[in-house]
Structures are given as C-alpha cells and as structure tokens.
Amino acid sequence: MPSTRRMLRFLGLACVPLAMLAARAAHADLTDEIQVYDDSINRRGQLGLELHLNTTLEGRSTPAWPGEIPPNHGFRTTMEWSYGITDTLEAGLYLPLVHDGTGTTYFPGPRLRMKWIPHRPATGSSGMFYGLNIEVSAVNGRFEQGRPAVEFRPIVGYRSSLWLVSFNPVIDETYRSRYVSNRPDFNPGLKIARTVGQGTSLGIEYYDDFGSIGNFAPPRRQNQQLFAAMDVTRGPLPFNVGIGHGLNASSDRLTLKAILEVPLD
C-alpha cells in the first residue's frame, strides 16, 4: 500500500538522526508529562492549552543521584501551550511545576517542542499516521541527570472509528551528566484504545525505560508502568485520565494522571 511504503520510508529517515546520537546521554527523570502521542495536531493558526497533572502515590523515595528529588508523594502540574504553524507542524511550550513530598514547590525549567505529522487519516476516516516530535529542555539538576536534553519521539499508529493504536519509540539524549552512561536512552510508549461510546474510549498505555542503547538494563531494573486510561473528547473539557501500576520493584508502584484540554475558542 502506498501509505505503508511512505510510513516505512519515513521511519528510515527518522532513524538517521537517532543513529547519529553518540554524545553524553541519560534519560529524563521528570515525569511532568505522561502521554503517548498520536496524530492530534492543531490547525494552522490555532492556539491550544493542555494542563497535565500527575501524582506518585507510592513510588521511589531514594534519590537516584546526588541532589535528586525522588517522585514519591510528589505532585506535578504542567501547562502545555501549543500553536499550529501549519496544518502539519505545531510548536509547543511546557511550563512545569513540581510539588515534592515535603510540600516544597519548584519550577524545574521550560521545554520547547516541534511536532510534525505529515500523514494522517482524514476526519472520520481510518488509516495509518506517522510523524516526529523533537523536544529540547533545560531542566534543573534536581530532576534530570544533565542539561540540556533533546528528545526524539517518532509517532506511528493507526486510527479507525473503533480503535486507536499509537507507538512512540522515544530516544532521549542528555548532555553533561556526571552520574550516568554516555549513551542515549530508549524509552518507548504504547497506547491501545477502543471506542466504547460517543466521544469516549477505554484502553491501556504502557511506558518503559530500557536504559542506555547498547547496554539495556535487565527487565527487573527497568522503569515499567502500565496504565488503565480513559479518553473523553466530547463536552466542554476533553480529558484523559489514567491509573498506573509499576510492573517491578524498580518502578513507581502507583501513579495517577490526568490531561485536561482547556478551551480557548
């Protein structure tokens, strides 16, 4: 199929910058956004705002490196502003706040992104989609192991009236870290959802942190989380909510998350 060939060609091109990653690297630890990207994108000239909320009810309480603030009992709030440059290209700005387990509030630092979705099915149609999101951040060393950081997030999936499947094979490249490997990290995310009513879908979201490329951590040491999630796109305030469970002793045991789409029109 032509669309499949285009998708495979896109994946090949997307892998070029990923294969060139060879500088100092580590994964990003700030969980200000828990989301699998799909083909959603703003129209040309459209301004968007999403509010990301998540909290670790039961998780890691020991710092992973000197000075780190662990996620246990933390609450994270992030404003994500977005703007449609074209119908296929979108810019975004993240402004996170972190409230740690002691009640102290921090501004870790901004994130900037560009999302490109060159192919997706027309509204009401079924088909494959693909794209790429590139994000640059300068987050405080209390939350990430090195700065600045660059994230490459290929977006590949399929959407129909009943099903949504989206896969993000994320590559994290972080610089100037003293405590971790000098290789980029592989952090994939997968979402599978089924429509159960008008504007409502239920599904799962899976997130994994394999560790450094070429030197993956054993499964028992990977950060693996599985979320039961619900998406509601109808009504005045579309939202995504989920409850996540860690799949091993190295993962946060219980996480709650929500994404609210704030109406600006």
pLDDT digits (tens, 9 = 90+) for 186-216: 999 999 999 999 999 999 999 999 988 988 9
- Residue 152 to residues 108, 124, 199, 243, Cα–Cα distance (Å): 20, 29, 30, 26
Q: Check whether 257 has a pLDDT greater than 90.
A: yes
Share of the chain above pLDDT 90, in %: 73
154: which residues sit within 8 A by CB, 6+ positions away?
A: 11, 14, 130, 131, 132, 168, 169, 170
Q: Check whether 157 has a pLDDT greater than 80.
A: yes
User: pLDDT digit string (tens) for 56-87?
Assistant: 999 999 998 888 999 999 999 999 999 999 99
Least confident span in 133-147, 158-172, 235-249:
133-147
Q: Check whether 20 has a pLDDT greater than 90.
A: no
Q: With bands split at pLDDT 50, 70 and 90, how would you rate the model's confidence at 12?
A: low
- Residue 177 to residues 67, 96, 141, Cα–Cα distance (Å): 13, 21, 9
- pTM of the complete model: 0.87
Let me know the angle formed at the C-alpha of 176 by 173 and 181, rounded to the nearest 5 degrees.
60
Q: Which domains can be identified in the chain, with CATH numbers?
A: 2-262 (2.40.160.40)
Give the pLDDT confidence score for residue 24 in this predicted structure.
32
d(CA 132, CA 239): 23
d(CA 189, CA 170): 7
Q: Check whether 89 has a pLDDT greater than 90.
A: yes
Give the pLDDT confidence score for residue 28 in this predicted structure.
39
Q: With bands split at pLDDT 50, 70 and 90, how would you rate the model's confidence at 7?
A: low
Measuring CA to CA, which residue among 261, 66, 86, 265 is closest to residue 179?
66
Q: 10 Å Cβ neighbour count for 141? A: 18
Q: Check whether 21 has a pLDDT greater than 80.
A: no
